[in-house]
Structure 1
Amino acid sequence: MLVLTRRNGETIKIGDDIEITVISSKNDQVKIGIKAPKNIEVFRKELFDQIQTENEQASKDVSSLIDLLRKKDK
């Protein structure tokens, strides 16, 4: 993991297309702005993890349904 120190208003570049700017910091919270192309999805990690879990569950449900349909066809 790369660890950087930035002050309010300073920016970090990732590749050619992504910029992360420190908007403000107060106590133990940091407000950041992210500028990225529209085709790049940006999520908070906890939301991303939740989406992944729901997608995995949905694919299991579909797999179970397919198995059930195959049993019916026999």
Structure 2
Amino acid sequence: MLVIGRKPGEYVMLDDDIMVKVVKSEDGHLRLAIDAPKDVKITRGELYEDQNNERITK
């Protein structure tokens, strides 16, 4: 796992087509903007965990 610090307005690139940008940071809360091709599936962490837990219990 890569852990880096970014300030609002700064971003990281994943390959050449996915940008993750910090758009707001205050009081320990962070807002990210993700620019990715439409065919890239993006799922929030809590939903991803719920989906995986459902698969395991079925």
The normalised TM-score by structure 1 is: 0.69
Q: Which amino acid aligns with 1:21?
A: K
Shift of 1:53: 2.3
After TM superposition, the structure 1 = structure 2 runs for residues 15-34 of structure 1, keeping only pairs within 5 Å, are: 15-34=15-34
- CA RMSD after TM alignment: 1.3
Aligned residues: 58
Shift of 1:49: 1.1
Residue 41 of structure 1: aligned partner: 41
User: Between the two proteins, what is the percent identity of the paired residues?
Assistant: 34
Instruction: Give the number of the structure whose residues are more often strand, by fraction.
Output: 2
Residue 11 of structure 1: aligned partner: 11
Shift of 1:56: 4.1
The normalised TM-score by structure 2 is: 0.85
Return the alpha-carbon distance in structure 2 between the equivalents of residues 54 and 39 of structure 1. Answer: 24
Instruction: Give the number of the structure whose residues are more often helix, by fraction.
Output: 1
Residue 64 of structure 1: aligned partner: none
Return the index of the structure with the highest Cα Rg: 1
SS in 2 for 1:5: coil
